[in-house]
Amino acid sequence: MNDTQGHAPPVVRLPAGRLRGEIDGGLAVFKGVPYAAPPVGDLRWRAARPHPGWDGTRDATAYGPSSPQMFMEGGDPVLGGHGFPPFDDDCLTLNVWTPAVDDARRPVLVWIHGGGFVSGSGTLPIYSGETFARDGDLVVVTLNYRVGPLGYLSFDDDDDEDEAGEEHPANIWLTDQLAALRWVRDNIAHFGGDPEAITVAGQSGGAMSTAALAGHPEAQTLFRRAILQSPPFGLHIPTRDDYRRRVSAYLECAGVKTVDELRQLPWPQLVEAAGGLFAHTMRWGYWPTPFLPVRDDVTLFRHPMEALLHGAAADLDVLIGWTREEANFGFALDRGYATATREQVLGRIAESFGEGAAADVYAEYARSRPGAQPVDVLMDLITDELFRIPCVKLAEGRAALGRPVWAYQFDFPTPAHGGRLAAAHCLELPFVFANFDKWSHAPLVEGIDPAVGEGLARTMHQAWIAFARTGDPNHADMAAWDPYRSDTRTTMRFDSVTLPVDDLAGHARRLHQRALAPK
């Protein structure tokens, strides 16, 4: 046992070797801990493999490098950046925050970052486990995994097999996350955590990852609760055959013909080629996703949303939600979309609802938002298709099965950029983590009244802690939050005043039932 109030650095002895961390803010923190072998050289685009271990005592006081990804000097106008140097192929590390290195068997929260499958890192200050570990007496783990071309490409001429001798998986990123969860299960007791009380949480692409992990055959042995923040369940998940065209397009962008040639390229060239794939796959009115999970029938057997309705995943406790204006994150500041015409938006609606229904659907959306411009209708359509409606369908499916699920909608708007972002994708993150001090670089939070923001942050943060500890998000400082059921459809509305609302997404749910009708 180590005294986290003292000055001696905490040391743990793992099967792989000894680790020396540091005391920071009264917590024992271990950074840059390898959970799998470095995926370099011939191990590029191969499933994560066990780390061989190390001799002596390994220093764990500095973060490991993030997965190679695009980087914009000066940041972006919403998040101010979502991945920062250093980047390196050798990126499979994780970080642990714990109140004490003891045998207390605390509940464990594993956070999987999002980033559209192309960006993000478990080392970002905004995802620091400090607040959850301190405020909830939890052990918190964040991780780096391969993103972009290094994590979301696979090749038919790669004859590698996984440990079970099965076909090579298409989802390299998922093998990383599985390896990290196995590491947590096998090692977290050394950090004061309970391997039988693990919650996996993620936002956006990280929420999609969480659902995909739940659908893996090992799910029942790896975790028992899932928090899904803004999962883009509306994405089409291609089969391996469908995805081959995208892989071929990437090879063309990279200027090579084979995976062996690709393995010789330095990672900056791989990231540069990803920019070409963005252009190749972009469609007007759709969220850009050059890389996608693949239903390979090795690691992923069905759409991640459907995974949570089957097998061991159906028994997990699930908390799921979305923000009211998800799509504003990617489109509201784009001048090309700001000047969208009614005819353009009608054409986009027709792709989902059919030509005959497009005008009525447009009118329904416009009525729900007084003074709506064409871009507002488009934002609501994209939000519904990609996030809100699929999340509601999952809640409906689990309710019909009698499985536990709590639903929320985040409604609090940011005043940033003249209010154009509203309650955009990612805005709930500083409230969930209760760490506005880590978001000073992000335009997204500019202008938020500290008193209102901190009050809502306390409410959400404590709900997430309660769920990780008990499987129920209720706590004393919030109105009663009932599970989502078929008769009530209770959804917690997080805003300056937080209250449960029955069938909060009812208008969108009924409207999108038309999309299922024959066109």
CA distance 370 to 373: 9
Annotated active-site residue 204? The verdict is yes
List of long-range contacts for 469-472, beta carbons under 8 Å, 24+ apart:
469/107, 469/136, 469/138, 471/224, 471/225, 471/317, 471/404, 472/317, 472/406
Annotated active-site residue 440? The verdict is no
Write the DSSP string, 16-39: TEEEE-EEETTEEEEEEEE-S---
Question: Which listed residue (130, 325, 326, 428) is catalytic?
Answer: 326
List, in sequence order, every residue forming a beta bridge with 19; answer none if it has no partner. Answer: 12, 58
Identify the DSSP state of 191.
G
Question: Which listed residue (113, 190, 425, 461) is catalytic?
Answer: 425
Q: Which residues contact 230 (CB under 8 A, 6 or more apart)?
A: 114, 203, 204, 207, 321, 322, 323, 326, 387, 425, 426, 428
Alpha helix segments (H runs only) across 124-266? 130-136, 149-152, 172-187, 205-214, 219-222, 240-254, 259-263
Specify whether the CB–CB gap between 222 and 198 falls below 8 A. Answer: yes
Please work out, in degrees rounded to the nearest 5, the angle formed at the alpha carbon of residue 413 by the alpha carbons of 407 and 416: 140
Specify whether the CB–CB gap between 313 and 404 falls below 8 A. Answer: no
Compute the Cα dihedral for 365, 368, 372, 378 and give only its sign.
Answer: negative
Annotated active-site residue 326? The verdict is yes
Specify whether the CB–CB gap between 138 and 109 falls below 8 A. Answer: yes
Question: Which listed residue (128, 154, 204, 209) is catalytic?
Answer: 204
Catalytic residues: 204, 326, 425
